[in-house]
Amino acid sequence: MKIGFIGLGNMGAPMAANLVKAGHEVTGFDTAGVTVEDVTPAASGPEAAKGAEVVITMLPNGAILRLVAAEVIPAMAKGATLVDCSTVDVDSAKSVAQDTEKAGILFVDAPVSGGIGGAAGGTLTFMAGGSDVAFAKAEPLFDIMGQKAVHCGEAGAGQAAKICNNMILGVTMIATCEAFALADKLGLDRQKMFDVVSTSSGYSWTMNAYCPAPGIGPQSPADNDYKPGFAADLMLKDLRLSQQAAESADADTPMGALAQALYARFVEEEDGAGRDFSAMLPRFEKRGRG
């Protein structure tokens, strides 16, 4: 398949590389001039998109997605498919879907879960929104770049699933870190707490698979001085998207709003920038109730 790939950053570059390894012909473009082995470089987004059966984008935010889509849609052939794997606001995904429909192009919004490791290993999960026909066109590529793809509904549903999932993740990580800090002050051994909670009703992914306490549970960024697996900055971005969507949909999400406020303080006023989102634990360790 002839594929255009726009956005060859930490996530996009290994995703494009996996498509090439699977035998696809990939032409790539990135504003930073990044090149990927065996990916044919293009001088612009429209050049990467020209003649492609599928164009994949992996971009920082909705505003950039809208700009890139406005450039590449006119360069794409009718019947081609635009697959956006960025995590953006639901409104931007729906807006681009409308633009593609007018141009006779299929669209899938397909944000991912699994981070840089998942992108490199081809083990990402794709949460996809779009028509059945569009999803069917993209699914073989999801199978190469990831281990699972869930068709969540019409355009925008992929973004909705991603931000709902990550709102749960942010809230749960805060609760897990708070509990460890409380356990410390109550004199409860961290390993004992893990042994109880990980097999009791407090069970969660943040406790069992991504424990924020160093030396407890499976290896996680906590064991690597909180170097990011998933950066607090990105968690803050996703929580802001969740609250933007909640406002747009008139949904009451007080825990999501509080998690956004805490991560904003952590990233923008404290030492959270550039650290893993589980570095909330040392933050709570140092704090009292004041």
CB 68 within 8 A of CB 16: no
Q: How high is the pLDDT of residue 119?
A: 95
- For the chain, what percent of residues have pLDDT higher than 90? 97
Residue 290: pLDDT over 80: no
Residue 82: pLDDT over 80: yes
Read off the tokens for 4. 């255009």
Q: How high is the pLDDT of residue 225?
A: 98
Helices (H) and strands (E) in the chain, counts: 12, 9
Q: How high is the pLDDT of residue 68?
A: 98
CB 159 within 8 A of CB 135: no
> Which domains does the chain show, CATH number per domain?
2-154 (3.40.50.720), 160-286 (1.10.1040.10)
Three-state DSSP state, 138: helix
Q: Tell me the backbone φ, ψ of residue 96, rounded to 5 degrees.
A: -65, -35
Q: What is the pLDDT of residues 179-236, one digit of tens each?
A: 999 999 999 999 999 999 999 999 999 999 999 999 999 999 999 999 998 999 999 9
Q: How high is the pLDDT of residue 117?
A: 87
Q: Taking Cα atoms as reference points, which of 138, 151, 75, 66 lies closest to residue 106?
A: 138
Model confidence band, residue 20 (pLDDT cutoffs 50, 70, 90): very high
Average pLDDT, the chain: 96
Q: What is the pLDDT of residues 85-126, one digit of tens each?
A: 999 999 999 999 999 999 999 999 999 998 888 999 999 999
Residue 136: pLDDT over 80: yes
Average pLDDT over residues 267-273: 97
Active site residues: 162
Q: What is the pLDDT of residues 247-259, one digit of tens each?
A: 999 999 999 999 9
Model confidence band, residue 272 (pLDDT cutoffs 50, 70, 90): very high
Look at the alpha carbons of 70, 71, 75, 80 in this order and tell me if their dihedral is positive or negative: negative
Beta strands 124-129 and 112-113 are: antiparallel
Separation of alpha carbons 117 and 114, rounded Å? 7
